Amino acid sequence: MKILVIGSGGREHALVWKLAQSPRVTKLYCAPGNAGIEQLAACVAIQANDIAGLKSFAQSEDIDLTVVGPEAPLAAGIVDEFRRARLKIFGPTRAAAQLESSKTFSKELMARYHIPTAVSQSFTDLKPALEYLDRQHAPIVVKADGLAQGKGVVVATTLEQARQALIDMLDKKTFGQSGSRVVIEEFLDGEELTIMAFTDGKTVVPMLPAQDHKRVGDGDTGPNTGGMGAYAPAPLGSPALRAAVLDQVLQPVVAAMSKSGSPFAGVLYAGLMVVKGKPYVLEFNARFGDPETEVILPLLKTDLVDVVEAVVEHRLDQLSVEWHDRSAVCVVMTSGGYPGSYETGVPIAGLPEKVLSGDVLVYHAGTKRQGRDVVTAGGRVLGVTGVGPNFTDALQRAYGTVRTISFPGCHYRSDIAQRALRAGTGRR
């Protein structure tokens, strides 16, 4: 099988690594890829949003299956375009991807089908948004409606902070078109959890529960980022809670999308807030999460090619998806200044020769090759994952490797997965 992976981040490196393990794969391509991915796949100089270029490449190379990593091409309709050309592709259609590309669409769907979520209102004009805000209490959440690379959420501890967020998004256009509509949402006080699921539009197969670390600083301080690290399986995701998420969230939203005429096939990501043992949806994503993928895929026992193909061919009910009984922790290493402005082109020292070997996996996120050097090319530079029989071992492997890698301005959190250690278990 010839497979094309679309994207250039740590999630795509993890996908390429997992797909490369399948005996069914004869050739792997990645567009555009990065300095780590090039060790496993032929990198193609086509950007992830160049749908026409990607389709042309898939046709000319007789690609058997395409796997889409990032959200932007999904929201732009790459799946629809590939299907029209009779090309097999893994991911939801443009209409189904609205679950991620429009928070208003997602909120309205959840309200219609009684899927638990925070109370909210959406606005396109500043004046009514401010008037609504004046009737609320802090803390409160302000979200850009569209795609904002995980940075379009402001958890305001005061109404003044929320006011400024509304002005930034609706008046100053901080997030461009993505912030032309905003959602003002009730603050839910609980603990966050991610549960992703494979679905073919009917059958839903949840993955292991994971927990992301969105704030840039230790102790969950500082601004939100695309993710500073993750671990799985998160102890918070008990069997009872996972059953509730499947019954109250995942299956109802998949059924609702099918009923609306836009069946969802691919990976459905549910970002949850668990409040007093009950799950509430914070957001849906229409693809694998990043950095959650970097801890979930090392724990997947079943051949990923088999799973992806079962989804594309709408026969997921015929496949048993199995998991390793181990723990995984990912620590993200970022450029100094991220998620604000940062320098790129900085040489990275200490990278292991084999970046994906044994129980330590060094996923490249924002890197490129410059002569003999591997240099930084983004805010999130590397995702270092340790895998072990428990979280203590996984953490030692991850941080032990992180400390051998360096580049000027490098930043990472030192408290990834501490909640799991406090829970006293690394097993599901």
In this structure, what token pair is assigned to residue 38? Answer: 């090039």
Whether residue 28 contacts residue 20, with contact meaning beta carbons closer than 8 Å, is answered with: yes
CA distance 79 to 51: 9
What is the predicted pLDDT for the residue at 428?
39
Query: Regarding beta strands 182-186 and 140-144, do their DSSP bridges make them parallel or antiparallel, or are they unpaired?
Result: antiparallel
Hey, which bits of 25-164 come out as E strands? 27-32, 42-43, 65-68, 89-90, 120-123, 140-144, 153-156
Question: Measured at the alpha carbon of residue 220, what is the angle toward residues 133 and 285, in degrees to the nearest 5?
Answer: 65
Q: How many Å apart are CA 174 and CA 288, to the nearest integer?
A: 26
pTM over 0.85: yes
CB 417 within 8 A of CB 331: no
CB 99 within 8 A of CB 286: yes
89 closest CA partner among 11, 5, 161, 214? 5
Q: How far is CA 422 from the centre of its chain?
A: 25
pLDDT by position in tens, the chain (length 428): 999 999 999 999 999 999 999 999 999 999 999 999 999 999 999 999 999 999 999 999 999 999 999 999 999 999 999 999 999 999 999 999 999 999 999 999 999 999 999 998 899 999 999 999 999 999 999 989 888 766 688 889 999 999 999 999 998 898 888 888 899 999 999 999 999 999 999 999 999 999 999 999 999 999 889 999 999 999 999 999 999 999 999 999 999 999 999 999 999 999 999 999 999 999 999 999 999 999 999 999 999 999 999 999 999 999 999 999 999 999 999 999 999 999 999 999 999 877 677 799 999 999 999 999 999 999 999 999 999 999 999 999 999 999 999 999 999 999 999 999 988 654 43
Residue with tokens 């638990």, as numbered in its chain:
116
Pinpoint the residues of the chain covered by CATH 3.40.50.20: 2-93
Q: With beta carbons less than 8 A apart as the criterion, state whether 284 and 253 touch.
A: yes
CA 392 from centroid of its chain's CA atoms: 24
CATH T-level topology, domain 2-93: Rossmann fold (3.40.50)
Q: What's the rounded Cα separation, in Å, for the pair 92 and 101?
A: 12
**Rounded Cα–Cα distance for residues 66 and 4 (Å):** 5
Give kind and range of the element (H or E) at residue 14. helix 10-20
Asked whether the beta carbons of 127 and 90 are under 8 A apart, the reply is no
> Do β-strands 42-43 and 27-32 pair in parallel, antiparallel, or remain unpaired?
parallel
> Could you tell me which of 99, 332, 116 has the C-alpha nearest to residue 212?
332
CA–CA gap between residue 157 and residue 142 (Å, rounded):
11
> What pLDDT sits at residue 426?
44
* Core vs surface per residue 281-304: b (16+ CB within 10 A) or e: bbbbbbbbbbbbbbbbbbbbeebb
Query: CA gyration radius for the chain?
Result: 20
Contact 54, 46 (CB under 8 A): yes
| CB neighbours of residue 239 within 10 Å | 8
Strands (E) located in 131-265: 140-144, 153-156, 182-186, 191-199, 204-206, 211-212, 215-217, 221-224, 229-232
For 168, what's the count of Cα atoms within 13 Å in the CB-facing half-sphere?
Answer: 14
Say if domain 119-186 classifies as CATH 3.40.50.620. no
| Range 266-269 contact pairs with CB under 8 angstroms and sequence separation of 24 or more | 266/68, 266/74, 266/90, 266/91, 266/92, 266/96, 266/198, 266/199, 266/311, 267/91, 267/196, 267/197, 267/198, 267/199, 268/99, 268/196, 268/197, 268/199, 268/204, 269/100, 269/194, 269/196
The CATH 3.30.1490.20 portion of the chain extends over 119-186
